[in-house]
Chains A and B, each alone.
Chain A
Amino acid sequence: MEVKDAVIVDNLVKIFRIRYRSHLKARAMALLKPAPPIQEFTALNGITFNIPHGQTVAVIGRNGSGKSTLLCLLAKVYRKTSGVIELNGLRGGEARVAPLLDLSAGFHPELTGEDNILFYGAVLGYSPQEMRQKFDSIVEFAELGDKVQTTLRNWNEGARLRLGFSIAAHTDPDILLVDEVLAVGDEAFQAKCYRFIRELQTQGKTILFVTHDLRTVERVAQRVIWLKNGVICMDGEVSEVLQAYRLYSAEQNL
């Protein structure tokens, strides 16, 4: 049986409608004037790429080039305007996706670390039993110790982010979507994150990450997609794309 690529994106388009919050006063004034045309913003304008299983791809580009929009679309947070998105698991069927768009988004400050682990697990589609099995290893990886029994309210930001990364990384995803969050915690923890990502790579997981840190790209990625104004400007070998991108950035600075 032919295995489908992990990520299939075909002619993906995302158009945002720019809305303004309307107050009564603004509405009343607007009645006197002709209605302004609906403003639209095309964040992604026909993106096409495939990622085979086991590949680590970095998405780079300037602010507002559509990187985060792309990740949000893959994570099903946004609804696409048109085009195709397919996420396939290694063993066929729909892929298990671990979205790391914001590491502490699913947490509730009034719950303990333990409850939050179970809750975040449920958000990612795992039962409490499954999370219990991974519990010790999650806590150990996040370097939490007994703190996991206290409410998150009193934790520092670093501890929350470590827990978020640890949970998402332990859920055995087929595809990992990472948005600028690898700069988590102190240097020692970062090194650990990279080791973990290496491990995921050897396990054949597919990783798609967005970053501005080109050194991270060199260290981790096998392929780079460069987005510019909602279209793919370049897609290929790490060194090749980075060279072109660095040249472009330098030009922009002149």
Chain B
Amino acid sequence: MKEELAELWRYRQLLKMLVARELKVRYKNSFLGFFWSIIPPLMQVAVFSFLYRGVLGLPAKNLSAYLLTGIIPWSFFSSCILDASQSIVVNYTMIRKIYLPREAIPLAIVISNTVHFILGWVVYFAAFLVVAHFFNVGIPLVPSMVFFPFLVILEVILVTGISLYVAALNVFYEDVKFLLSTIFGLAIFILPVLYPADQIYYTSHLVRNHKWIFELYMLNPIASIIDAFRHCLLQSISPSNFNAKLKHAHALPFNPYVFTCSTVITLLIFWGGLTYFNKRKWQFVERP
């Protein structure tokens, strides 16, 4: 592992160039350029607000902040992993002919996506801490916001681990691409992206009577990170906002124990992804 890190450090210039290339090429032929990294989440917020309030008639107030705290981490997670899964295959001709540390390719994807991720948060804070206050719909500063940078780093670690894993796996099984797009298309409805995690707890008597089912659900690192982002940036919102039947339900407090466990899982995933990539990386050029 030490060797690989030293090699990456030696090639840091190349890593920088790969990141710059990713950032440059992505929106190069588009008129709106970088705006395309913030337009999709805003459109999603608009559509889902309409769905909740207009179609389902929920009382959901100030929904956009709650939606965005889910959508920003989720789109980073899903689009980065999808990009990374293709990264080795896309650069296959280069890998076959020129030596470079193979890790650099998926890592460049992760870093360039992280730039868009951070840009998304900059827009979020600019909108809700500054602009929205003029219209009295902003969000207040809360002390828990100090944990925000930690959560960003944690998600980047998680995404790096999974990205390395799927990038290597996709060389041998291109099913990965289809599997991921299917999973990601559906997971957005099951994970607490478009609603707070409490809603899962309140779905049925079964879950309410067996709290461990909910805790098991929250062990999923990405669910737990999105939930932590909400707890860190926003004040709890009554579950009745998303489900009219839950008039007397209380919002669940942040559960630090489950979060710690899921953080350990994140670190294990990171280590596993790194190890798997390392084991497979010399077989890339000899793939069947």
Are A125 and B11 in contact (CB-based, < 8 A)? Answer: yes
Residues of B within 8 A of A77 (CB): 95-99, 285
Segment of B13-21, B115-123, B162-170 in the binding face: B13-21
Q: A19-B287, A19-B288, A118-B17 are in contact. Are A76 and B99 (CB under 8 A)?
A: yes
How far, in angstroms, from A89 to B204 measured CA to CA in the complex? 70
A110's nearest neighbour on chain B, judged by CB, is B25
CA distance A111 to B20 in the complex (A): 11
Q: Does B286 contact A (CB under 8 A)?
A: yes
A45 CB, min distance to chain B CBs, angstroms: 17
Q: Is B24 a contact partner of A105 (Cβ separation < 8 A)?
A: no
Tell me if A155 is interfacial: C-beta within 8 Å of chain B: no
- A119 & B98 in contact (Cβ 8 Å cutoff): no
Given A75-B98, A108-B21, answer yes or no on A123-B93 (Cβ-Cβ < 8 Å): no
Closest A residue to B175 by CB, please name it.
Answer: A24
Is A110 a contact of B14 with CB atoms below 8 Å? Answer: no
Is B31 located at the chain interface by the 8 A CB criterion?
no
Cβ-defined contact, B97 with A17, below 8 A: no
A122 with B14, Cβ < 8 A, contacts A77-B285, A99-B99 known: yes
* Residue A102 CB within 8 A of the other chain: yes
B61 interfacial by beta-carbon distance below 8 Å: no
Contact B98 A99 (CB under 8 A): yes
Closest Cβ of chain B to A67, distance in Å, is 15
| In the complex, chain B residues whose CB is within 8 Å of the CB of A111 | 21, 24-25
B7: shortest Cβ distance to chain A, in Å?
A: 11
Q: Which residues of B contact A102 (CB under 8 A)?
A: 93, 96-98
Contact (Cβ within 8 A) A101 B287: no
Partner of A123, one of B28, B96, B98, B286: B98
Which of B29, B97, B282 has the largest count of A CB atoms less than 10 A from its CB? Answer: B97
Chain B neighbourhood of A122, CB < 8 A: 11, 13-14, 16-17
Q: Is the CB of A119 within 8 A of B17?
A: yes
Interface residues on A, range: 20 to 34
Measured between beta carbons, the chain A residues less than 8 angstroms from B288 are 19-22
Contacts of B95 in A (CB 8 A): 77
Query: Does residue B132 face the partner (Cβ distance < 8 Å to A)?
Result: no
B residues 24-39 near A (Cβ < 8 Å) are 24-25, 28-29
A16 within 8 A of B: yes
By a CB distance below 8 angstroms, the chain B residues around A105 are: 93-94, 96-98
A79: which B residues are within 8 A, CB to CB?
282
Q: Kindly state the separation between the CA atoms of A56 and B210 in the bound complex, as whole angstroms.
A: 76
B100 interfacial by beta-carbon distance below 8 Å:
yes
Residue A46, interface by CB 8 Å: no
Interface: A128 (CB within 8 A): yes
B13 touches A110 (CB 8 A): no
Chain B min CB distance to A41 (Å): 10
CA distance A115 to B260 in the complex (A): 44
Contact of A75 among B11, B17, B99 (CB under 8 A): B99
Residues in A with CB closer than 8 Å to B11 are: 122, 125
CA distance A84 to B229 in the complex (A): 52
Interface residues of A in 154-184 (CB under 8 A from B): none
From residue A13, how far is it (CB to closest CB) to chain B in Å? 15
8 Å CB contact of A101 from B17, B21, B98, B282:
B98
The interface residues of chain A lying within 8 Å CB-to-CB of B100 are 123
Determine the distance from Cα of A176 to Cα of B99 in the docked complex, in whole angstroms.
14
CA distance A98 to B237 in the complex (A): 61
Q: In the assembly, what is the distance between CA of A77 and CA of B285, in Å?
A: 8
Shortest C-beta distance, B248 to chain A (Å), equals 51
A127 within 8 A of B: yes
B222 CB, min distance to chain A CBs, angstroms: 29
Query: Which residues on the A side are within 8 Å of B282 (C-beta)?
Result: 78-79
Contact with B along A118-148 (1 / 0, CB 8 A): 1100111111100000000000000000000
C-alpha spacing A114/B44, complex, angstroms: 38
A108 and B25: CB pair below 8 A? yes
Q: Is the CB of B13 within 8 A of A127?
A: yes
B209-252 Cβ-contact flags toward A at 8 Å (1 or 0): 00000000000000000000000000000000000000000000
A89 to chain B, nearest CB (A): 15
Q: Which residues of B contact A (CB under 8 A)?
A: 10-11, 13-14, 16-18, 21, 24-25, 28-29, 93-100, 282, 285-288
Question: Could you jot down 23 A-B contacts, CB within 8 Å?
Answer: A16-B286, A17-B286, A19-B287, A19-B288, A20-B288, A21-B288, A75-B97, A75-B99, A78-B282, A78-B285, A99-B99, A101-B98, A102-B93, A102-B97, A102-B98, A105-B94, A110-B25, A111-B24, A118-B17, A119-B17, A123-B14, A125-B13, A126-B13
The 4 closest A-B pairs by CB, nearest first: A105-B97, A76-B99, A19-B288, A102-B97
Task: List 12 additional A-B contacts (Cβ < 8 Å) besides A108-B25, A118-B17, A119-B18.
Answer: A19-B287, A21-B288, A72-B285, A77-B95, A77-B97, A77-B99, A101-B97, A102-B93, A102-B98, A110-B25, A111-B21, A115-B21
